[in-house]
Chain A
Amino acid sequence: MKERIVITGIAGRLGRLLAKRLHRSGNREIIGIDRRPFEDKPADVVHKRVDIRSKRTRDVFRTQPISALVHLGLMHDPKRSNRTHNQWNVVGTQQLLEYCMHFRVPKVIVVSSAAVYGPRPENPQFLTEDSPLLAAQDDLGALSLVEADMLASSFFWKYREGETVILRPVHILGQVANAASNYLRMERIPVLMGYDPMMQVIHEADVVDAVLLALKPGVRGIYNVAGPGEVPISVLIRESGRPTFPIPHLAAPLVSKLFWNLGLAPFRGTELNHLRYVCTVDDSRARKELGFRATRTIKEAVRAALDDTY
């Protein structure tokens, strides 16, 4: 029987990469769910332009047996309100998981983020999968992401006949439109004076590798997915070759708000703690159980974020 894999958020950068990798490897039918248009879509990929919260998403699961769901469609866009984020991430994820339970989907993969642990001064250097998800403590914008991750974790325990995998990759670099890549793409990169925490980054293609490994039968659980290693932010910026401008940390919230309002900064400044404190993870479980190992170097990851094709 043909494997039928549903990918939410397929028109995003990660979704497109994953769809291309999956459809190339043979006996699979790919169904993408995304409101956005999917440019240069491979001909045999089915793209449903629907909202994940709508009834028509349910029809995808109802009309045919689905062998796996890859939920890439979590929203993290500073231009949208917290309310929209909650609607999309919490309600959307909950409904998707409900469909999976109801229509007995044997494999569910949720791509969350290591940012759900939250950068905090008290963090141990290497957060394990059991660490509490405290990102919303200082950044309410991350609340819906934390909640979506928790929904998936509780689904993992509720739905024991299927295999649930939650991936928590570190900052993804590439042509993705996330905060980390946007940060390195700035003309002059703002840094906080006197702070230079260790950071982990991962190349977008390595994240796709991790998803492919998680699709293997028998894999279930929560996995931190880390890149090739940890370096201070200053090394990442040096690799990007961009000039920096230091801001005193006490002025940073105001400055970043001002820049956001003027349309000069790609983020609101609620994530400033990532420039202050560590939020690095221990990925030994993914190495041992998934057999995952990032193959792209830090240099390659930074290059991928700066490539102008985006």
Chain B
Amino acid sequence: MWRGTLGRLASRLLTPSGDAVSSDRAKSIPGWRRFLESRFDRKFLQKIQALPTRQNEYGYDPFGFHRDEAIAGIYLAHLMYQYYFRAEVFGQQYVPQGRALLVSNHSGQLPFDGLIIGASMLFAKDPPRVVRSMVDHFVPSLPFVGTTLTRWGQIIGTPENCRHLLNDDETIVVFPEGARGVSKPFSKRYQLQEFGMGFMRLALETNTPVVPVAVIGAEEQAPCFNVKPLARLMGLPAFPLMPFPPFFPALPLPTKYRVYFGEAMHFSGDPDQDDEELRPAVTQVRNTIQSMIHLGLKARKHVFW
């Protein structure tokens, strides 16, 4: 099993799978991009180049997403999706045309679930779709990282940005559990934490269908326990430690990912109503995701394959 995966990975890395770049384009693009583009087959590249984005004459969309520069991100996502987490995707046909809000469980200390949801919309859906996910406010202040994520289509997590993108019929993935979800300890795996209300207000305001997503596998990728005193001392929401080297959740375990997309849910109502009045709709989404998680857990035979 392992040798097979590694062997495939090695052969994939070493042999180009066809000359996917036409000669006149080849001259104007930098070498690293030409190399990465040669890793993908021509059909997939054509689909990527046909993605509907609102790019200007310089190739940038208003948020700084650059389809050609994103190939590095797509390549990384492909490696993780295909070879590291060996993701399986179910129900991708439920993601509707036009605007959509993908609402998922969040876990695993590092947000690889977002990456794999994005990857599954690129590699398992035809035609592929770009999923925009949100990054934290501090990310733009990191050199290189902030700019690179912007080029790959990530946005700063503000309601204004989401509204703007949804009104332009884009797809956004949101994790209503937020930091509570991603940093929860191993003992709470597959137990959804409390949901925020923001995504429901956005959905109501922009009349966007909500697609429930359950990610199975991410919750075991970094088995951590929470050192509460240290977290309190440092003012962090959690201080996760792993009971084995490297102790800090730096690299996830290669669990097998299964991504389930559910049927789109439509809501209507006043986006400005009180939290209490929105709660039934939010709970409905949360319960749907929880039951999808249960079904997914029942269906799988092993954490790693």
Contacts and interface: CB of A to CB of B under 8 A. Distances in A.
A125 B65 CA distance: 12
B146 A126 contact: no
Interface string B41-78: 00000000000000010101011100000000000000
Interface string B154-189: 011010110010000000000000000000000000
Interface in A194-230: 194-198, 229-230
A249 B60 CA distance: 24
A267 interface: no
Contact of B60 (A121, A122, A231, A248): A231
A124 B160 contact: yes
Interface residues of A, number: 26
A229 B147 contact: no
20 contacts: A121-B137, A121-B146, A124-B156, A124-B158, A124-B161, A124-B164, A125-B63, A125-B161, A126-B161, A193-B144, A194-B145, A194-B146, A197-B140, A198-B63, A231-B56, A232-B147, A235-B60, A277-B141, A278-B140, A298-B58
A123 B156 contact: yes
Given A192-B143, A195-B146, A230-B56, 17 more contacts: A121-B139, A123-B156, A124-B158, A125-B160, A126-B62, A128-B160, A194-B144, A194-B146, A198-B62, A198-B150, A230-B62, A231-B58, A232-B64, A235-B58, A276-B140, A276-B141, A298-B58
A213 to B, nearest CB: 23
Contact of A232 (B60, B155, B164): B60
A194 B58 contact: no
B198 to A, nearest CB: 14
Contacts of B160: 124-126, 128
A192 B156 CA distance: 20
Contacts of A194: 142-147
B138 interface: yes
B64, B138, B150: residue with the most chain A Cβ atoms closer than 10 Å: B64
Nearest to B139: A121
Contact of A195 (B56, B60, B147, B156): B147
A180 B240 CA distance: 45
Contacts of A232: 60, 64, 147
Contacts of A248: 143
A125 B155 contact: yes
A234 to B, nearest CB: 9
Contacts of B56: 229-231
Contacts of B144: 193-194
Interface string B246-287: 000000000000000000000000000000000000000000
Nearest to A123: B156
Contacts of A276: 140-141
A278 B58 CA distance: 18
Q: Nearest 6 A-B pairs (CB), nearest first?
A: A194-B143, A124-B160, A194-B144, A121-B140, A124-B158, A122-B137
Contacts of A193: 143-144
A126 B60 CA distance: 15
Contacts of A230: 56, 60, 62, 64
A128 B144 CA distance: 27
A193 B143 CA distance: 7
